Amino acid sequence: MDFSALWPLLLVLLIAGMIAGVVAGLLGVGGGIVLVPVLEYGLRFIGVPPQWCMHVAVATSLATIIPTAISSSRAHHARGAVDWSLVKAWAPGMLAGGLLGSMLAANAAGPLLTGVFGFVAALVAAKMFLPLDHLRLASRVPRGWVGNLIAGLIGTLSAMMGIGGGTLSVPIMSLSGESMHQAVGTASFFGLLLAVPGTLGYLLASPPVALPPLTLGWVSLAALLIVAPASALMAPYGARLAHAIDKRRLSKLFGIFLCLVSLRMLYRTLLSS
């Protein structure tokens, strides 16, 4: 392997990690929505077989969410923007969903993972474009078994996509009476709850293919060591921006990005089917 040719990839991963950290703190949607497409494309240059790149990308992205979520949730907590009563109410579902999602994804076909990612990214992009910030479907976020069922579904899908959960939980919380700042801050901690068991599931998996050195289970430790510090470093800056800028304009820009990602993932799924 020509290591001198890898410097552009290392730089891209570093920049992607920094952007992912800002996005995680800013929107609460999880930096994985940025990292997975970058990793899925870049991992083939370090020897990951193309048909397995999505598995490694999802697993590695989920692992990076652990330090990013800690950094982001601390910054939001300092501003009183984490609903700890909801965290306690949804914790069992998030933990179980994170583990279940990683177990399902570890044994899933690549086209299923790209299809799930593309479909959910399209739904989130639509939400980003639509002016739904003031729409309310309920006066309070569900707790009890209903809340844990919702949390379990969020955790499962998020672990399968390698994202932090906020992509799905922020819209649900905001539509159920939670303020946007509170929803974003709370979602940052949900990322930690689902990423820990989810990452454990990916680390303990037994891939059916030989992967490059410094890969444990489905997690690329090499990519993780580059992306995770950059993402965790930038997450607090994203949290500060979340309280200072026009999020409507930002949501539209992020929606455009998600549309492009969704189209690419769905196109890959169709080519593989």
With a CB cutoff of 8 Å and minimum separation 6, the contacts of 129 are 251, 252, 255
- pTM, two decimals, is 0.80
Domain that holds residue 70: 3-272
pLDDT at 21: 78
Place of tokens 């939001």: 76
- The C-alpha atoms of residue 222 and residue 224 are separated, in whole angstroms, by 5
pLDDT at 38: 82
- How do beta strands 215-216 and 219-220 pair? antiparallel
| Residue segments in the chain with a per-residue pLDDT below the cut of 50 | 1-3
The mean pLDDT of the chain is: 81
Using CA atoms of 72, 74, 77, 79 in order, give the dihedral in degrees to the nearest 10.
-80
Give me the number of domains the chain comprises: 1
Provide the residue type at 176 as one letter. S
pLDDT at 95: 95
